[in-house]
Structure formats: C-alpha cells, structure tokens
Amino acid sequence: MAAPLLKACFSRLQETGKRYSCLLLFSAHRLRWNQHIRLYTEGFPGLQARIRPLPLLIATGSGYFGYNQYEKYKLRELEKLGIELPPSLASELQVTIYKSIPTRLLSRAWGRLNQVDLPTWLRKPIYSLYIWTFGVNMKEAAVEDLQHYRNLGEFFRRKLKPHARPVCDSHCVISPADGKILHFGRVKNCEVEQVKGVTYSLETFLGPCTWAESIAINRNEDHSSFQDLLVTKEGNELFHCVVYLAPGDYHCFHSPTDWRVAHRRHFPGSLMSVNPGVARWIKELFCHNERVVLSGEWTHGFFSLTAVGATNVGSIRIYFDKELHTNNPRYNKGSYNDLSYVSNNNQEGMCMRKGEHLGEFNLGSTIVLLFEAPQDFTFSLTPGQKIHFGEPLGSI
C-alpha cells in the first residue's frame, strides 16, 4: 500500500513542478515584453495614452448631433427671413448604404412582436407610454379601455367611434386617412413632388401603363408623355396629394371618393422611413419603397390611390384583396405583381363609396393620390396642415 501511495504523491509533485516552471517562464517572457514596449514607447509619448472606444464614440456622436442641430437652426432662421434654399439631397452612395440596412427583416420581426399577447397587467403601462410619446387621442377610439387590446397590433389597428370622423358630402374628394399634408397640386412634366423641391417620376412610381384597357384609356392614340396618357378627357389635368400618417395616427385608410378600382399593382421594395425629414433628403423615396397602387376611374376620369410602405410598416392590407401579401422575404428587384379586378363575371371591378373602409397599415405610412380632374379643381389645403379622415381635400 505504501509504495503506490508514494508513487502517486511523487507524480503529483512532478506535475506541480512543471506547472510552476511554466508559470515562471511565462512571467519572465511577459516582463521582458513589457520592457521592450516601454523602451519603444518612450520615444513616442502619444502611444502611451490608451484609446477608449466608448468615450471616443460618445464624443464623435455628440459632435455630429450638435453640428446637425446647428444646421437645422440655420435653416429655420433663413426660413423666418423668407429665404428658400434648395434641398440637400442624399448621394447615391448614401441611399445605397441606407438601403443595405435590413429594414425588411426588422419590419417582419416588428410585425411578429406586435402579435405577441401582453399580460393584462402590462398592457396599460405600455400603451400609456405609446399614447404619451405620439399624442394618441384615445377618446376617439371605439374601445377606450387599454386592457381590451391584447397586443400592439390590435392597438395600432384600433377602430374609431362611428361618428368620430364625419364624411364631408359637399366636396368630391376627401382625405382617405388621418395625417399630415406633405404636398399637393398639379402634376407637371411627368414629375410629382413628394415634398417641396423634391420630386419623383410619375411613370416610375406607377409603372408601365399595361392596365389601360381596364380603365378605358385609349392606348392607340399618340401621346407626347406618360402624363398625357392618363388624362382621358379634354380640358382635364392631373392632380396629386400626399398624406403622411404618423405612428400616433389612426392607421386605417378609406375611399377618398366614389370610384371603381379596376387594377392592383404591388411593387416589392425597400422599407425606408417616409417621415418628412427623410422625404426631403432622398429623391424618389416613394419609388424605392414597397407600395400598392390601386388604379381605376371616377366620374372625371383616371383615379389612383397608392399605399406606400415604410420602416416597420411592411404590412399593407387591402380589405377586399385577400391575395395581396406584402413584405415577402424574397423578391426580384425592380419587379411588380399585377392583378385585375375586372373579369368576365365582374365587368365593373371593385366599386367603392366615399368614406368606405379600404385598407390599413401596420403602424403608419403614406397615401399618395393621383387623379384626373377638370382644370377648375382647387385644393382647400395648406402645406403641412394636420388633416383627419373625412375632411375635404378639394372641390370643383
């Protein structure tokens, strides 16, 4: 018994000695390395200072934020003096970098998060914070009790009380949603303004006019421009209006007039932010983003409503179109999907009454109206004004 025990103890002492020798050797090498580093840095005093990433990042970010706020202050002061400056547009490289951000993936993740049911005790604090942040008026909601909404998705898509939004009968076109008027007016030279001074191509936005036969546009006539192709009646002009829906707004949109929807075109694309600041920065922003174009006609000719997607708003729903699926994981860049609502069994398409429920966003985005009307059509709007669904946009 004693011999094996002594042998085991001796082996243990050998291993301990080896480890101690390695530790001494490592310490000697480390000391020698530190001496070399100290001798080298004595001639370069700047290398002795340690670079700390977090303070450097905070200092850089604070400097950029301060510079950005100073530039905005200068612009506000120039606007007060009545001096208008041309918009500072993003370069192609900046747009490419922005589009490289996985906003579609983030939007799908946000959509799934919205469908997660919240515990009853947690609903009121979360919804109250959202209401305080974005100025939501819950007195207009059909259900004011916050604990009624099981998840964020239900809260975003809340319905209004029946008489919270009276529909104006004296004007032919009403606002399809709650929001802010970004721009409105006549379409000139096939260019549409998304905000003042920043335009996008009418043809790029709507796509090729392959749906013309569905809305009684004569494709055989010679037209000098894409805009002339859309104006079907002599003496008419093409008008547009852009309504921006903020996160705190009512997220459903309605029919802006009495019309028939003959065709739907879905453009898969990016999901960049469409808030007014980004709209002033990126040219043809609405042409980059995913959008659903509903085309048809009203009593004065061509009429279209386009729902433009944005960050966290990959889900665009049209109530009567069950085949529409937006923000799909895979899509071909520059492609679009067409669907005609006109068939042998339905020659009229989808007839919509003014104020009728049409669709909804998942958070908030933009509605673009493009329509043909007589030359004496006038908008009863001011740029930047807040508007509610049912209020008039203009009249003839």
To the query of whether residue 145 is one of the catalytic residues in this protein, the response is: no
DSSP-derived letter for residue 90 is: P
Residue tagged active-site, from 183, 240, 251, 254? 254
How deeply is 14 buried, as exposed, middle or buried, from its count of CB atoms within 10 A (0-12, 13-18, 19+)? exposed
Q: Please state, in angstroms and rounded to a whole number, the distance separating the CA atoms of residues 59 and 87.
A: 28
Q: Please state, in angstroms and rounded to a whole number, the distance separating the CA atoms of residues 336 and 268.
A: 7
- Supply 217's token pair: 């546009």
Residue tagged active-site, from 107, 175, 178, 288? 178
Pairing of strands 179-186, 236-244: antiparallel
Q: Please state, in angstroms and rounded to a whole number, the distance separating the CA atoms of residues 294 and 297.
A: 10
- Provide CB contacts within 8 A for 133, sequence distance 6+: 248
To the query of whether residue 178 is one of the catalytic residues in this protein, the response is: yes
Q: Helices (DSSP H) in the chain: which residue ranges?
A: 2-41, 53-80, 92-100, 103-114, 120-134, 152-156, 202-206, 226-230, 276-281, 285-288
**Cα–Cα nearest to 393, from 109, 183, 157, 250:** 183
CB 318 within 8 A of CB 292: yes
How deeply is 2 buried, as exposed, middle or buried, from its count of CB atoms within 10 A (0-12, 13-18, 19+)? exposed
Half-sphere exposure of 324 (CA within 13 A, CB side): 28
Q: Please state, in angstroms and rounded to a whole number, the distance separating the CA atoms of residues 120 and 141.
A: 19
Residue tagged active-site, from 214, 273, 315, 365? 365
Q: Please state, in angstroms and rounded to a whole number, the distance separating the CA atoms of residues 312 and 136.
A: 18
CB 269 within 8 A of CB 288: yes
The number of angstroms, rounded, from the C-alpha of 81 to the middle of its chain's C-alpha atoms is: 32
To the query of whether residue 258 is one of the catalytic residues in this protein, the response is: no
- Supply 236's token pair: 């008419």
Catalytic residues: 178, 254, 365
